[in-house]
Each structure stands twice: as C-alpha cells, then as structure tokens.
Amino acid sequence: MKKVAAVTLSGVLLFLGTSALAKQIDDHTVREEAEGKIIWQQLQDNEVSCAELTDDNFGSLGEYYMGLMVGNAHESMNLWWLDVHDEQRHDD
C-alpha cells in the first residue's frame, strides 16, 4: 500500500512540475509574441530601423512570426525544443 501511495504521489508531483513548466513556457511565449508584435509595428511605422534592433528584438520577432504561423501549437513547440536541448546537454 505504501508503494502505491508513493508512486501516486510521485506521479502527481511530476504532473504538477510539468504543468508549472508548461505555464512558464506559455507565459513566456505570450510575452515574447506580444513584444515581437510591438517591434513589428514599430518597424512598419518607421519608428525603428533594422540596424537598431538587438538580438533580443530579433528573438521576439521570431517568436511573433512563429505564433502567426503555428498558432496554439507554438507553446508545445517551445516545450519540445527545451526538452530536445535538455537531452542534448545530458548526452554531452
């Protein structure tokens, strides 16, 4: 009985940890897409030039475009990408 309780508790904790990570990724994705949209609008309005953009600005633009292309799947893709890179770190 103790084993069943321990396995169940482990499963619940794993789920909660995964859910928390997914929420962080979702919040990050939404924020980055919004920042990218602002930068895109500034470019369209000639308020900023490409030469003035930082690496972070280009990253935000990339997140914005990815959101436009894949919609709701964007968060899942970010989670998958982090998982792949985490596995590569452990393989090194």
Digit-coded pLDDT (tens) for 73-84: 887 787 777 777
Structure confidence at residue 39 as a pLDDT band (50, 70, 90): very high
Cα–Cα distance for residue pair 75/19, rounded to 1 Å: 12
How confident is the model at residue 2, as a pLDDT?
A: 59
In this structure, is residue 37 part of a structural domain? yes
Position 68 in a domain:
yes
Contact at 8 Å (CB) between 7 and 34? no
pTM of the model: 0.60
More confident residue, 27 or 45: 45
Distances (CA, A) of 35 to 5, 12, 22, 40, 43: 45, 34, 20, 9, 12
Q: Measure the CA–CA gap between 60 and 1, rounded to whole angstroms.
A: 50
Does residue 54 lie within any of the structural domains?
A: yes
Q: Domain count for the chain, please give it.
A: 1
Domain range for residue 87? 24-91
Tell me: pLDDT of 40 over 80. Answer: yes
Query: Is 18 part of a structural domain of the chain?
Result: no
Q: Does the residue 82 lie in any domain?
A: yes
pLDDT at residue 30, rounded to an integer: 85
Instruction: Please provide the distance, in angstroms rounded to a whole number, between the alpha carbons at the two ends of the chain.
Output: 39
